[in-house]
Each structure stands twice: as C-alpha cells, then as structure tokens.
Amino acid sequence: MASCNVVKYKELDIVYTDISNASPEEAMVVFDENQLIISKMPLKSVYALVNAKDARFNSSLIQKIKETVKKNNPHSKATAVCGLNALSRLMVNSIIAFTGRQMKLVETEEEGKDWLYKKYQEAAVVV
C-alpha cells in the first residue's frame, strides 16, 4: 500500500515515500501527504527516500512530482529515489536538472538509506 511516513535509519530520520506498485492516482495522494509532512519540518533538514519500484506514471503524476519537489525544496537536504526503470530515470533526471535538488537515483532502498546517511554525516562534520 502506498504511503508516506518518517522512518529511523541509525540516528537519522528519513521521510520515506513508498509508491511502489502504485497507480498514478494512488501516488498523487501519497505526494500530497509527503508535502504535508515535509512542510512541518525545518528548512534544509529533510532527508528523503522515495521507493518507486513498479510504480505507474502518467502526465498528471509527473506534474504532481514536479510540484512536490518545488514545494519541498526549501526543506530538503538530500533525496534518494530507488526502483526506477530506464524511462523513469530519464524523467527524474530531468526533474533534478530543472530543480537543482541534491538527489541521487539508486537501485535499492538500502543503497538509498546508506547514501542519505553519508550525506547526513558529511553535513554534521561541516557544522
């Protein structure tokens, strides 16, 4: 079932958005939930992971993703996206280029969590 919630990975809180196997309509509801959760968090504090394995996309969902990325950008520190096929990767790469967001496409959830944790550790060293 598609959902969005905060999960703990080591000492890092990650906003986990799971749209795996979701229809575009189901995913759009989850991205609304994602925006609501992230809007309540401090600026430049959010580490996010999106699982899009076998999700189905249409033009409305792509528009919703662009809107979500734009609204969440001030709150975002880093985002990892896993489970994309080749066509979806092209689409997300164009969103990354369009928004300038620090985002990485990864193969698995675990790889995404590890990358986000590394980014968290790097930020902690800089502070």
- What pLDDT score was predicted for residue 1? 86
Q: What is the CATH number of the domain that holds 49?
A: 3.30.750.24
Q: What tokens does 93 get?
A: 């790469």
Can you tell me the distance from the alpha carbon of 123 to that of 87, in angstroms, rounded to the nearest whole number?
Answer: 32
Beginning with the edge strand found earlier in the chain, give each strand of the sheet holding 3-9 in spatial order: 3-9, 12-18, 46-51, 76-82, 103-106
Q: How many CB atoms lie within 10 A of CB 5?
A: 12
- Domain, as residue range, for 23: 3-126
Total domain count, the chain: 1
pLDDT in tens, 78-113: 999 999 998 888 888 887 887 778 899 999 999 999
For residue 127, pLDDT over 60 is answered with no
pLDDT (average), residues 18-38: 98
For residue range 32-86, list pLDDT tens digits in order.
999 999 999 999 999 999 999 999 999 999 899 989 999 999 999 999 999 999 8
74 touches 44 (CB < 8 A): yes
pTM exceeds 0.95? no
Query: What is the rounded CA–CA span in Å between residue 116 and residue 22?
Result: 24
